């Protein structure tokens, strides 16, 4: 007997959260959103693949997605879901838990595939962490996003943003009050750009190395989307966070310039 899946619809609480995110970004900076998500993809199924440059990124992306009429479900670290209040809100608003470094990490792919099958937009950080490249270009990604695309068949839209690293320091909540006060005074420009839809045509999911090649293609697309946002900072960023560590072990092989 055939069964139907009720399409997922973003809860009112998440819509309100996106509105609150947009107000927060407006208070702390000047948001500029360019590019678009094609109208037929805005309600999913779709994967948004974004670079990760600081703790303020999810707030910025929630606000930018609201500007385009998109309500994504974030794949987020399990620590957020264990927090007393934040965890309950994450579950109530439909976000997806990723327990990195545990035996349960594979569950995230299953849950994300189910979310996409229900018509959701899922937002992923392919780097798997806040990037630690000293020039703040996207670093070599984890293969989970490519595997999700292979398993779900959903298209990918690369998303790049720049400027959110000027709001909250890497080690937030340590230094958060100072960062917020500085941002309110300086009001940095925070740019978000949605790139052209990407698919992984030509890659055979079961072939050896396909997930790695797909991941490199995704990171390349995010990098290309980021280039226009930081044309005046192509090498080292002007804003340097002294609390941010440096790790060159995952430098992506393709870099601008």
pLDDT single digits (tens) 49-79: 999 999 999 999 999 999 999 999 999 887 7
- Predicted pLDDT at 79: 79
pLDDT category at 103 given cuts 50, 70, 90 is: low
At 4, give phi and psi (nearest 5°).
-120, 150
Q: Residue 62: helix, strand or coil by DSSP?
A: helix
Is 60 exceeded by the pLDDT of residue 5? no
How far apart CA 35 and CA 193 sit, in angstroms, is: 5
Which of 74, 201, 51, 208 is CA-nearest to residue 140? 51
- Predicted pLDDT at 255: 62
How far apart CA 28 and CA 183 sit, in angstroms, is: 5
Is 60 exceeded by the pLDDT of residue 164? yes
- Predicted pLDDT at 32: 98
What is the pTM for the complete model shown? 0.93
Range scoring the smallest mean pLDDT among 26-30, 86-90, 177-181: 86-90
- Given a contact cutoff of 8 angstroms between Cβ atoms, the answer to whether 11 and 90 are in contact is no
Contacts of residue 185, defined as CB under 8 A and 6 or more positions apart, other chains included, come to none
Burial of 235 (0-12, 13-18, 19+ CB in 10 A): exposed
144-152 vs 106-117: helix crossing angle, rounded to 10? 40
- Predicted pLDDT at 233: 94
What average pLDDT score do residues 24-29 get? Answer: 97
- Given a contact cutoff of 8 angstroms between Cβ atoms, the answer to whether 45 and 117 are in contact is yes
Residue identified by tokens 């999810």 is: 58
Which of 174, 186, 175 is CA-nearest to residue 239? 186
What average pLDDT score do residues 112-132 get? Answer: 95
Is 70 exceeded by the pLDDT of residue 206? yes
Which of 142, 128, 150, 160 is CA-nearest to residue 229? 160
């Amino acid at each position: 007997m055939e069964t139907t899946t009720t399409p997922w619809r973003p809860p009112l609480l998440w819509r309100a959260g996106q509105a609150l995110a947009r107000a927060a970004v407006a208070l702390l900076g000047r948001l500029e959103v360019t590019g678009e998500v094609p109208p037929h993809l805005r309600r999913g199924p779709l994967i948004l693949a974004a670079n990760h440059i600081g703790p303020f990124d999810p707030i910025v992306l929630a606000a930018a997605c609201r500007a385009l009429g998109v309500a994504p479900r974030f794949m987020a670290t399990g620590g957020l879901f264990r927090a007393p209040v934040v965890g309950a809100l994450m579950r109530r608003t439909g976000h997806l838990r990723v327990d990195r470094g545990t035996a349960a990490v594979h569950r995230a792919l299953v849950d994300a595939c189910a979310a996409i099958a229900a018509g959701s937009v899922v937002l992923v950080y392919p780097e798997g962490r806040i990037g630690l490249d000293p020039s703040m270009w996207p670093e070599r990604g984890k293969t989970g996003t490519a595997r999700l695309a292979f398993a779900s068949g959903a298209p990918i839209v690369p998303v790049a943003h720049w400027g959110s690293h000027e709001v909250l320091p890497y080690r937030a909540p340590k230094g958060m009050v100072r960062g917020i006060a500085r941002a309110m005074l300086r009001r940095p420009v925070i740019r978000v750009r949605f790139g052209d839809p990407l698919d992984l045509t030509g890659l055979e999911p079961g072939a050896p190395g396909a997930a790695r090649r797909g991941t490199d293609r995704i990171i390349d697309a995010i990098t290309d989307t980021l280039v226009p946002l930081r044309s005046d900072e192509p090498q080292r960023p002007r804003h340097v966070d002294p609390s941010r560590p440096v790790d060159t072990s995952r430098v992506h092989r393709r870099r601008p310039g």
